[in-house]
Amino acid sequence: MIAKRKITSETLVWTEGMASWVPAKETPLLSNFASLPPPPPPAKSPGPTPISNGPAVSAKNGKQPFWRRTWVHVLLFIFVPFVQVPLMWYQKKGRLFWRVILSILGFFMTLNLLVPHPPRGDSSYSRSEPEPSTAAEETVAAATPEPTENISWDEIDSIYDLKSQHTDVQKREAWKKFKGKRVRWVGTVTEISDGWTGLTLQIRMDRDTFLSDLIIKLKRSQKSKALALSKGEEIQFSGTLDTWGSILPISLEDGEIE
């Protein structure tokens, strides 16, 4: 019991022959206390839990909040990089090296999303001037016009005129047989423009039309011919049927002035 320190030198003890209880240090037991090894040092209390730089965990269910999960950051970076990049720095998500790399990539992705781009298409949408064709090439092109379909303007106008009784569903279905077909018609010039959408020519086909019935996206090779035209001039042209609208004019692409 002394070795286990259940009895100390101050513990009152008694044995037969003693008049009363006395401290153990006043008895022959004192020598037993002198031979004991020193008591072990008291156990240190655990310090405060170190703060982790890892993702926060919800105390409710032990899981990360959804806004800290990796898949959320990936989606944000793909679709709205201008939101994800500041959020990544605010949360200190990932190593510094990768945050810098992703920030640069996100900057260019944001420019690609926010800066307008010219419409894709054929050469009529290009802002840069192509190399001028030679006189011999123009002569060959004029001598071999592209084949056209036997589709008259009256056939188109009977369906897509503003006064037409056809519904949009019927018009959309009918356009399936017209789209992509090349036609050759005669009309009156109402406007010529060369802007962001390319070189365009507006044509009035019906006399009672206020502005125009057709918008033709001309080929770049037609610029010199377009510059020679005047408003009110009647011309023959060809082009490929492209789009129709309930209010907007019908459009042709790859237009040529003949």
pTM exceeding the 0.75 threshold for the entire prediction: no
Can you give the pLDDT of all 258 residues of the chain as single tens digits?
A: 888 888 888 899 999 888 899 998 888 888 787 777 776 677 666 655 555 444 444 445 556 665 667 777 677 777 777 777 787 787 777 788 888 888 888 777 776 666 554 444 444 444 444 455 555 555 544 555 677 788 999 999 898 888 888 898 999 999 999 999 999 999 999 999 888 778 999 999 988 887 888 999 999 999 999 999 999 999 999 999 999 877 778 999 999 999
Tokens of 186: 């005669």
**230 falls within a domain:** yes
CB 1 within 8 A of CB 24: no
pLDDT at position 229, please? 93
| Same-domain pairing of 110 and 166 | no
The CATH number of the domain where 249 resides is what? 2.40.50.140
Full residue range of the structural domain in which residue 84 is found = 66-114
**129 falls within a domain:** no
Alpha helix ranges (H) inside the chain: 30-34, 70-79, 81-91, 96-114, 135-143, 153-160, 168-178, 223-227
| Same-domain pairing of 1 and 103 | no
- The C-alpha atoms of residue 64 and residue 210 are separated, in whole angstroms, by 64
| Same-domain pairing of 161 and 211 | yes
**102 falls within a domain:** yes
| Same-domain pairing of 206 and 141 | yes
| Same-domain pairing of 148 and 109 | no
Number of domains in the chain: 3
| Same-domain pairing of 73 and 186 | no
233 to 187, 228, 248: CA distances (angstroms): 8, 10, 22
**143 falls within a domain:** yes
